[in-house]
Amino acid sequence: MNEEIGFQLSNTCSSTRARTGVIFTSHGNVSTPVFCPVGSQATVKALTPEDLIDIEVKMILSNTYHLYLRPGIDTVKALGGLHRFMSWDKPILTDSGGYQIFSLAHLCKITDEGVFFRSHLDGSEHFITPELAIKYEEDLGADIIMAFDECPSHDSGVEQVQQATERTHRWAERCINAHIKNKQAIYGIVQGGMFPLLRRQSAQFISSLNFDGYAIGGLSLGEPKNITLDMTEETTQLLPVDKPRYLMGVGAPEDILECVARGVDIFDSALPTRVARNGAVFTRTGRQNITNARFERIDRAIEEGCDCYTCQHFSAAYLHHLFKSRELLAYRLATIHNLRFMMCLIDDIRLSIKQDRFACFRSDFLNNYETTSEEMRSQQKEKWLRARRATNM
C-alpha cells in the first residue's frame, strides 16, 4: 500500500463499539469519526471553499454520476482534476454514481456487464461498466473512490436483493482489478438490503477482497430507523477492525451517534444542507424551523454558544426575516450553521471516545435532543424524492 494512504485505529470505547482513528490521504489526514458534507456537483450548495475551511470541514463527497453528465469527466481532468477544478485542497471522496444511476436515470437497464441508462438531464443514452466507473473516479482524482455497486430499493424482495448483491460482489472484484492509481484508496460496498443473512454474506465476501476500506450501502433509503440500525449492526461486526467503515447517506445527528456506537467511522449526507435551505436549523435540543412565527422577534443567535459565522453575527429574527423574504443569503447562513453544528458534534463525539465517556455523552445528547418522528422523517423523505424527480424530469 502506498505510504500516503491508509488507516490507523487510535481509541476504542470500553462499553460500545465506538472508535477513533486517522485516515491518511495525499491531501491530508482525516480524524475519525468524520462527517462529509455532500458536494455532488463539485460544490457544497450555497458555500465557498473558504466557508468550508472556516467551518472546519475535513473531507467532502462528490458524485461521479453528476460530474460525468456535467461538465464531463474529461473536462474536469483537463482542468487539473477535481481538487483544482473546485479549489479544494483537502481530501475528497467520490461515490461511483451507482445509486444515482438507479434512482435518477430514465430507462435504466442492468446487465452483468454494466448499466445502460438515459441521462436525467437530456435523455442521452449511456453505458457504464465497473471498469469505466473506476476510470472516471481515477480521472477525477479523488482521494477515496468507491466500487461500482447495484443498490436495490429498500422495499425490494429477497430474490431481487440477492441478485443485486451477487452482482455487486462480481462488480467489486472487477473494480479492484481495474484500480491502478496507488495514491487513491478504493472502498468496497456491502449490500444485502434489509435481510440480515444477505448482509452477513455480503460483508464476509466484500471483506475478503483487499479494499482499503469498506462501506455499508443501501440504507437510509426510506426504511424504518430501527432497520437501518439493525443492518448496520449486522454489517460492522463482520468488517475488518483495521480498515475504515463508511455508512453511506446517513447524516441526522441522532443517527450518527447510534451508528458511531456500532463502529462506523465515516458518514456523508445532504441532510444538513438540504434542510438548511428549507429553513430547518440544528440545535442541541433538536431541529428548529426558523420560519415559525415565534422566531420573528428573537434577538439572539439560533443557538447561544455556537461559534459559527451565522450565530456570531446575526439573530434568529434576522434569519427568520431572510427566509420569509426569500433572500438568497438565508440559504448560506443556515447552511453554515448546520454544517458547523455537525463538525462540533463530531468533534465532541471523537473527544468523548478518547476519554472513554462516549456512552454517557450519547445518552446525555439524546436525552436533550428532540428527534424527528418516524412519520415526519418518511413524509420529508418522500417530499424530497418527489421534488427531485420533478426537477430531473
- Catalytic center residues: 95, 268
CA distance 319 to 265: 33
CA distance 249 to 37: 10
Residue 154 Cα distances to 60, 197, 347, angstroms? 26, 15, 31
Residue found by looking up cell 452482482 in the block: 167
The three three-digit cell numbers of residue 345, written as one number: 458534534
Contact of 64 with 148, CB cutoff 8 Å: no
Q: Measure CA of the first residue to CA of the last residue in the chain; give whole Å.
A: 44
CA distance 271 to 250: 8
Contact of 384 with 274, CB cutoff 8 Å: yes
Calculate helix-pair angle for 253-260, 329-354, nearest 10 degrees. 20
The β-bridge partners of 287 are: 282
